[in-house]
């Protein structure tokens, strides 16, 4: 392992066993001068009881994306996750990670906790509504963990979690392994993501302002919206090399077409800023390749290594 890869892996490893932030002089939180880019990742995930069995796959998906970014000389400095749709027991950001604030549990385990505690799903709120609501005031975001994940103790909160540095680019990862509740045309809030304001993208604002559209990328990892039945859907997923067969009962195709049209809107308004990846493909043996291709295209557009 070269020095850059070693420094990157030490700096922002996705797996921690302590919630105590390292001291300021800790070399794990000093960026090597050769880092080509810094990246923020925002996860928006549909919470459901089915996430309990999908925890290993989502943890691997997160690891594949981080690895694809770091292998190209870039560094994931901040990660946050929130529900795709607001739920009563998960009203805000449910996961956060940085060098200064390591997570008490991996993302997959955090989602497992919320899935286990769910009693019903919010079917009235549009997909991505929470992100649309939170994005314009992102500088005030205060993520928190449930006390049950921390032995009853909460870590110190950061009032400006994303304001420490301006990222080179932002990746928004939307994960939905179940049926959509709405078609895209039913949800006016979803159309906010393709609007550009005078200072950059309209929906995402940091304390320093907005980022230009070419520095904000959506990656949607969702099950099929082609309208096939459950049997045909299962057969197609199981045909992917390396697909974890045990996961099939936790997945559902969607008769509603939210993310297909959502990505299509980006093609019309902000080309190259949104990618739709089949969930079954993403958790198969090709998952790491798909993530590498996604990051490669971002770096090519921005003139970065890789």
Is the alpha carbon torsion for 65, 220, 178, 233 positive or negative? negative
Q: Which of 75, 82, 14, 15 is nearest to 47 (CA)?
A: 82
Is a pLDDT exceeding 80 seen at residue 62?
yes
Query: How many residues are given for the chain?
Result: 306
Domain that holds residue 73: 33-302
The predicted model gives 212-231 an average pLDDT of: 96
What percent of the chain clears pLDDT 70, i.e. is strictly above it?
81
d(C-alpha 162, C-alpha 137), whole Å: 11
Q: Residue 58: inside a domain, yes or no?
A: yes
pLDDT at position 179 over 60: yes
What are 89's two structure tokens?
Answer: 């027991």
Task: List the end-to-end C-alpha distance of the chain, in Å, as a whole number.
Answer: 17
**Helix ranges (DSSP H) in the chain:** 3-11, 51-70, 107-117, 129-134, 230-238, 259-269, 279-282, 287-302
Beta bridge partners of 201: 196
| Phi, psi dihedral angles at 139 (to 5 degrees) | -65, -15
Q: Is residue 18 part of a domain?
A: no
* Within-domain flag for 236: yes
pTM for this model (two decimals): 0.86
Question: Per-residue confidence at 160, pLDDT binned at 50, 70, 90?
Answer: low
What is the chain's mean pLDDT, rounded?
Answer: 83
pLDDT > 60? residue 55 = yes
Output helix, strand, coil percentages for the chain, rounded to the nearest 5: 40, 15, 45
Tell me, yes or no, whether 19 lies in a domain.
Answer: no
Q: Give CA–CA dist 176/178, Å, rounded.
A: 6
Give the total number of structural domains in the chain: 1
Residue 15 domain-assigned?
A: no
List the CATH number of the domain containing 219. Answer: 3.40.50
Residue 220 lies in a domain: yes
Neighbours of 133 (CB within 10 A): 15
Provide the angle, in degrees to the nearest 10, between the axes of the packed helices 287-302 and 51-70: 40
Q: Is residue 14 part of a domain?
A: no
Q: What does the pLDDT look like over 136-145, one tens digit per residue?
A: 888 777 777 7
What 3-state DSSP class applies to 9? Answer: helix
């Amino acid at each position: 392992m070269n020095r850059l890869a070693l420094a990157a892996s030490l700096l922002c490893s996705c797996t921690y066993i302590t919630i105590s932030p390292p001291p300021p002089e800790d070399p794990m939180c000093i960026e090597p001068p050769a880092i080509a880019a810094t990246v923020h990742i925002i996860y928006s995930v549909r919470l459901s009881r089915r996430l309990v069995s999908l925890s290993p796959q989502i943890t691997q998906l997160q690891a594949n994306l981080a690895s694809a970014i770091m292998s190209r000389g870039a560094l994931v400095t901040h990660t946050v996750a929130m529900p795709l749709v607001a739920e009563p027991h998960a009203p805000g950001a449910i996961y956060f990670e940085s060098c200064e604030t390591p997570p008490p549990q991996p993302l997959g385990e955090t989602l497992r906790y919320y899935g286990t505690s769910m009693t019903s799903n919010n079917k009235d709120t549009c997909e991505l509504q929470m992100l649309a609501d939170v994005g314009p005031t992102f500088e005030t975001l205060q993520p928190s963990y449930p006390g049950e994940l921390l032995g009853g103790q909460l870590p110190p909160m950061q009032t400006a979690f994303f304001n420490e540095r301006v990222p080179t680019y932002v990746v928004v990862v939307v994960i939905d392994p179940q049926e959509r509740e709405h078609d895209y045309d039913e949800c006016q809030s979803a159309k906010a993501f393709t609007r550009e304001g005078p200072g950059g993208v309209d929906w995402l604002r940091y304390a320093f302002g907005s980022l230009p559209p070419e520095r904000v990328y959506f990656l949607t990892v969702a099950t099929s919206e082609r309208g096939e039945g459950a049997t045909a859907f299962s057969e197609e997923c199981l045909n992917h090399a390396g697909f974890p067969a045990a996961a099939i009962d936790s997945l559902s195709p969607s008769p509603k077409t939210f993310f297909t049209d959502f990505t299509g809107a980006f093609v019309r308004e902000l080309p190259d800023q949104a990618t739709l990846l089949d969930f079954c493909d993403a958790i198969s043996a090709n998952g790491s390749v798909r993530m590498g291709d996604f990051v490669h295209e971002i770096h090519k557009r921005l003139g970065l290594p890789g």
